[in-house]
């Protein structure tokens, strides 16, 4: 055997190219080929685990039993020190561990995690010190039971790069531990209601780049950002809350981000609702444009997505005309209420975005498509944005499909997808009429685009300009 194949780093590089699911048997076979292959092959084989079943099966066979359909797993007796030997041998090789909601249902009762799941969490802290990526998906129905066990495990991981635990709250001790880690750059965690009684650390999250906060209310999220976000490297910030935040609370959060991060580095801001739970008979709260003024401080934003049950009824063209992000790709101001009024924005505001957000590829906002605007010469005064491909107008009212099609086809010749009135009441004549007019507009738009493209091709062939002069009258 060539001496190069005795170098661990080279072998791991080779074995990593075997892939994951299809070649696990091959990796196991390689581990049996020779002593030189044994350790590197096992390292790669156990490095990423997307299920805890292999970990449970490292315990002696008389300890656990798997039976039934669907399969359930139970422990037959308490563990003793000698039962952990094989777990330690394999567990120390793990760097990435995924535990899904299916795991909680598969190995436990319907209501609470079983001994098998909790035993693994207890063992991970001491036996798997090299874990870098820890992902818990689900567990909300067993949140109170899982919180201490997951938190104890986390406190043993000193080399974490990413943590995803969006449905189970962590203890304050676990949060303090995460805040102190020098290599942690991606955090997606659940923040429970109530005060965060933790002393502000000197240099929290020194490597943080991606932060997502989940929970019932935005209030503890605001406190979290106040205490723990100081990273000049922060690139992406997202919150997902069950109770729609007020406009003032969002404004407070945006102002904190300006103060606690480097605005030139932040490229993505998202506010979303987990399941779009309805209000019942209550009215959604209004978003006020002035609370979004801090967003203008982030000069390099590529994504802004505000998708809650709050209504954008107060937004108008004067608000859109304050927005100018040359690198922005995605912009969404939407809500899920079918009866919620659209914004007061018109095609003039859309025209401003076309000119001052030239890289925009996706736009979602309900607006007054029926409002009349005037232009000299071509629709939009000759402004052309060739990047926009998706437009979601929600339940925007429309009266003149031809005029809207003429405008959009001239401004956005590359537009591929227009979404309008997906959710409408077939018994409501107004909604039915608006949907019908939007469908007519889409058909006209496609015809107009074909004509515009031919026109530009002729102009280019004749030595003219293939793109019209960009200006706003």
For 200-223, how does the pLDDT look when each residue is reduced to its tens digit (9 = 90+)?
778 899 999 999 999 999 999 999
Residue 471 has pLDDT above 50, yes or no: no
Residue at which a domain ends, from 31, 47, 63: 47
What is d(CA 459, CA 453) in angstroms, rounded to the nearest whole number?
10
- CA 391: distance to chain centroid? 20
Residue 176 lies in a domain: no
Percent of the chain with pLDDT over 70: 86
Domain extent for 442: 311-462
pLDDT range class, residue 330, cuts 50, 70, 90? very high
Residue 54 lies in a domain: no
pLDDT computed for residue 248 by the predictor: 94
pLDDT computed for residue 375 by the predictor: 62
User: How many residues would you count in the chain?
Assistant: 473
Asked if 215 and 191 count as a contact pair (C-beta separation under 8 A), the reply is yes
Q: What is the mean pLDDT of residues 392-396?
A: 91
pTM (predicted TM-score): 0.84
Residue 188 has pLDDT above 70, yes or no: yes
Question: Distance of CA 289 to CAs 311, 317, 326, 350, 368, Å?
Answer: 11, 11, 20, 16, 17
Residue 473 has pLDDT above 60, yes or no: no
- 3-class secondary structure for the chain? CCHHHHCHHHHHHHHHCCCCCCCHHHHHHHHCCCHHHHHHHHHHHHHEECCCHHHHCCCCCCCEEEECCCCEEEECCCCCHHHHHHHHHHHCCCCEEEECHHHHHHHCCCCCCCHHHHHHHHHHHHHCCCCCEEEECCCHHHHHHHHHHHHHHHCCCCCCCEEEEEEEECCHHHHHHHHHCCCCCEEEEECCCCCCCCCCCCCCCCCCCEEEEEECCCHHHHHHHHHHCCCCCCCEEEEEECCCCCHHHHHHHHHHHHHHCCCCCCCEEEEECCCCCCCCCCCCCECCHHHHHHHHHCCCCCEEEEECCCECCCCCHHHHCCCCCCCCCEEEEECCCCCCCCCCCCHHHHHHHHHHCCCCCEEECCCCCCCCCCCCCCHHHHCCCCCCCEEEEECCCCCCHHHHHHHHHHHCCCCCEEEECCCCCCCCHHHHHHHHHHHHHHHHHHHHHHHHHHHHHHHHHCCCCCCCCCCCC
More confident of the two residues 236 and 106: 236
pLDDT computed for residue 206 by the predictor: 93
Residue 265 has pLDDT above 90, yes or no: yes
For residue 349, how many C-alpha atoms fall within 13 Å in the half-sphere facing its CB?
Answer: 21
What is d(CA 122, CA 126) in angstroms, rounded to the nearest whole number?
8
Residue at which a domain ends, from 29, 47, 65: 47
Residue 215 lies in a domain: no
pLDDT computed for residue 291 by the predictor: 95
pLDDT computed for residue 103 by the predictor: 56
Q: Which of 143-147, 208-212, 426-430 has the lowest mean pLDDT?
A: 143-147
Residue 156 lies in a domain: no
Nearest in space to 137 (alpha carbons), one of 101, 87, 163: 101
Residue 443 lies in a domain: yes
Cis peptide bond upstream of 214, omega within 30: no
Number of domains, the chain: 2
Q: Which of 118-127, 209-218, 264-273, 282-291 has the lowest mean pLDDT?
A: 118-127
Residue 439 lies in a domain: yes
pLDDT computed for residue 182 by the predictor: 94
Residue 359 lies in a domain: yes
What is d(CA 35, CA 95) in angstroms, rounded to the nearest whole number?
23
More confident of the two residues 175 and 375: 175
Nearest in space to 190 (alpha carbons), one of 243, 245, 140: 140
Question: Distance of CA 195 to CAs 192, 224, 268, Å?
Answer: 9, 9, 27
What is d(CA 465, CA 227) in angstroms, rounded to the nearest whole number?
55
Question: Distance of CA 352 to CAs 282, 320, 402, Å?
Answer: 34, 7, 21
pLDDT, mean over the chain: 83
For 76-94, how does the pLDDT look when each residue is reduced to its tens digit (9 = 90+)?
777 787 888 888 888 888 8
- Helix 247-260 / helix 219-228 crossing angle, nearest 10 deg: 10
Q: What is the mean pLDDT of residues 173-189?
A: 94
For residue 47, how many C-alpha atoms fall within 13 Å in the half-sphere facing its CB?
Answer: 16
pLDDT computed for residue 82 by the predictor: 84
Q: What is the mean pLDDT of residues 146-174?
A: 91
Residue 84 lies in a domain: no
pLDDT range class, residue 107, cuts 50, 70, 90? very low
What is d(CA 469, CA 467) in angstroms, rounded to the nearest whole number?
7
What is d(CA 250, CA 335) in angstroms, rounded to the nearest whole number?
15
pLDDT range class, residue 101, cuts 50, 70, 90? low
pLDDT computed for residue 292 by the predictor: 95
For 225-257, how does the pLDDT look when each residue is reduced to its tens digit (9 = 90+)?
999 998 888 999 999 998 889 999 999 999 999
pLDDT computed for residue 447 by the predictor: 92
Q: Which of 92-96, 106-110, 125-129 has the lowest mean pLDDT?
A: 106-110
For 49-68, how does the pLDDT look when each residue is reduced to its tens digit (9 = 90+)?
877 778 878 888 888 777 77
pLDDT range class, residue 337, cuts 50, 70, 90? low
The alpha carbons of the chain give a radius of gyration, in whole angstroms, of 28
Q: Which of 7-16, 157-166, 226-235 has the lowest mean pLDDT?
A: 7-16
């Amino acid at each position: 055997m060539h001496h190069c194949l005795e170098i661990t780093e080279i072998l791991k590089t080779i074995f990593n190219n075997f892939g994951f699911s299809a070649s696990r048997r091959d990796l196991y076979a390689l581990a049996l080929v020779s002593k030189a292959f044994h350790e590197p092959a096992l390292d790669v084989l156990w490095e990423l685990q997307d299920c805890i079943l292999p970990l449970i099966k490292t315990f002696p066979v008389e300890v656990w039993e798997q039976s039934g359909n669907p399969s359930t797993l139970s422990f037959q007796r308490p563990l003793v020190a000698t039962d952990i030997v094989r777990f330690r041998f394999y567990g120390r090789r793990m760097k990435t561990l995924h535990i899904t909601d299916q795991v909680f249902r598969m190995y436990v009762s319907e209501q609470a995690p079983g001994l098998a799941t909790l035993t693994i969490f207890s063992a991970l802290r001491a036996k798997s010190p090299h874990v870098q990526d820890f992902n818990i998906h689900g567990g909300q129905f067993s949140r109170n039971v899982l919180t201490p066990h997951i938190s104890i495990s986390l406190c043993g991981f000193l080399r974490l790069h990413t943590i995803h635990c969006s449905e189970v709250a962590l203890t304050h001790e676990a949060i303090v531990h995460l805040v102190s880690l020098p290599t942690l750059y991606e955090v997606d965690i659940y923040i429970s209601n109530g005060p965060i009684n933790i002393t502000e650390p000197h240099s929290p999250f020194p490597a943080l780049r991606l932060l997502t906060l989940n929970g019932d209310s935005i209030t503890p999220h605001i406190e979290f950002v106040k205490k723990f976000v100081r990273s000049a490297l922060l690139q992406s910030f997202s919150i997902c809350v069950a109770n729609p935040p007020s406009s003032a609370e969002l404004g407070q959060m945006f102002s904190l981000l300006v103060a606690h991060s480097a605005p030139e580095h932040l490229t993505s801001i998202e506010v979303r609702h987990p399941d779009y739970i309805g209000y019942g008979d209550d009215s959604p709260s209004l978003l006020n444009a002035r609370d979004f003024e801090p967003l203008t401080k982030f000069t390099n934003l590529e994504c802004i997505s505000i998708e809650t049950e709050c209504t954008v009824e107060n937004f108008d063209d004067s608000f859109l005309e304050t927005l100018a992000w040359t690198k922005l790709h995605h912009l969404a101001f939407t809500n899920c209420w079918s009866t919620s009024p659209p914004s007061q924005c018109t095609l003039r505001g859309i025209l401003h975005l076309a000119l001052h957000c030239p890289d925009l590829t996706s736009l979602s906002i309900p607006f007054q498509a029926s409002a009349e605007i005037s232009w000299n010469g071509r629709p939009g005064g000759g402004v052309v944005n060739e990047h926009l491909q998706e437009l979601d107008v929600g339940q925007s009212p429309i009266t003149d499909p031809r005029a809207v099609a003429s405008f959009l086809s001239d401004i956005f010749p590359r537009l591929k997808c227009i979404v309008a009135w997906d959710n409408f009441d077939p018994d409501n004549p107004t909604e039915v009429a608006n949907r019908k007019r939007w469908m007519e507009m889409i058909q006209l738009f496609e015809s107009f685009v074909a004509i515009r493209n031919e026109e530009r091709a002729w102009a280019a062939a004749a030595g003219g300009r293939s793109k019209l002069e960009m200006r706003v009258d």
